[in-house]
Amino acid sequence: MSSSSNPTEAAYKSAVEKLGLKSNIARALEIPDRELKVEISFRRDNGEIDSVVGYRVQHNNTRGPFKGGIRYHHHVDIDEVRSLATLMTWKTALVDIPYGGGKGGIGINPSDYSKVELERISRKFFRAIDPIIGVNIDIPAPDVNTNAQVMSWFMDEYSQAHGYTPGIVTGKPLELGGSEGREAATGRGTAIITREAAEKWNINLKGAKIVVQGFGNVGSYAAKFLHGYGCKIIGVSDISGGLYASDGFDIDELFDYNYEHRTIKGYQHGKKITNEELLALDCDFLIPAALGSAINEDNVDSLNCKIIIEAANGPVTGEAADKLWKRKIAIIPDILTNAGGVTVSYFEWVQNLQQFKWPEDEINQKLEQKMVAAFNEVYSVKQNKNVPMRIASFMVAIDRVSAAYDLREG
């Protein structure tokens, strides 16, 4: 394994080598198809004109339209968006849905703006990227600090210019063509992958100890579903800090509290702990579901888990992954674990194209089938090639994209 701090780049290079992919093909699959940088000028509520910068990177569309979220965060830059767009290409290929990879973002802290200002920014941004998107070209979705409301503004802006087009974005409200099951999809997928990993690593889910770092949408839903499988959620955290309960939390109660207050701060059960103490808890599964690089060289030696389930994008650095591999602590990678969201986004898009809604139980069943099939395929490669799950995931994804690339270019 490479000791690169970027585990995605390291995994790509290792997978390419294991597959014996020709260097010219490997290079072609690395280079983004298009990168767009736009200036977004808008009027503040006080009447002043302001401007911010936005990006849309379209990495690869060999297997289908570009697909990926749009995030609002002050750390957004072209390097981050490019890396995440590339990750989406491999993620969609891994779960075998007919998409490529894309990503977008605006470099703002949403809390610095009113709702009206955010609507102006959102509409101007979507107008700016309009020439390069389309229902069969590039389909954005929510990401960090964007939600169904932002997708509604995007869809409306596009529809005003092109006619009613719900399929131009996914992650919409149900009233505008959104899909049942979409809100919980990434967390549900995370729970399914954890369940499958428990079976392969001979861990009894009944009473298995789970620690969830990041109790937002993904982490809270993952905890809820894992609790339903019989697991004990002994540690949780968010930006306000961590909580520990040796006998496990009442997750339904904690979930409802967090849903109402948008934080676990003030929840009256459990012992308050720091994030560092949370990561060091003795557990079967550690689920980092916050931002990237949460597990790094500074804290990796303190980890006391059997398996890491990467619900966030890039939560384990390359250096930390190397150390964990030597300690025989398995990592189930992000491109597999959190693919539930884009999978149900695909289902939403298909429903929009068909103009026909599916019931939630059918969507959940289809999601289950996709996630289990992808896990089993990756695990088979891991066993046959004696490589970590991350490398195996990239091998499956790259092989799928390169085969399509060869056919189209041939």
Active site residues: 103
Q: Which of 183, 168, 52 is nearest to 110 (CA)?
A: 52
Q: What is the DSSP string of 105-166?
A: EE---GGGS-HHHHHHHHHHHHHHHGGG-BTTTEEEEE-TT--HHHHHHHHHHHHHHHS--G
Provide CB contacts within 8 A for 156, sequence distance 6+. Answer: 123
Alpha helices in 204-333 (DSSP H): 217-228, 251-261, 275-279, 318-326
* CA atoms within 13 A of residue 9's CA, in its CB half-sphere: 12
Tokens representing 239 are 């930006």
Tokens representing 395 are 């091998």
Q: Which of 371, 408, 398 is nearest to 29 (CA)?
A: 398
Q: Which of 198, 254, 257, 202 is nearest to 230 (CA)?
A: 198
Cα separation of 196 and 217, whole Å?
21
Crossing angle, helix 7-19 and helix 78-94, to 10 degrees?
A: 40
- Collapsing DSSP to helix, strand or coil, 379 comes out as helix
Cα separation of 212 and 197, whole Å?
16
Residue 116: count of CB within 10 angstroms of its CB: 11
Beta-strand relationship, 285-288 and 232-238: unpaired
CA distances from 385 to 95, 259, 391, 396, 397 (A): 20, 43, 10, 12, 15
Tokens representing 366 are 């289809």
CB-neighbour burial class of residue 31 (10 A; exposed 0-12, middle 13-18, buried 19+): exposed
Tokens representing 3 are 């000791």
Alpha helices in 262-303 (DSSP H): 275-279
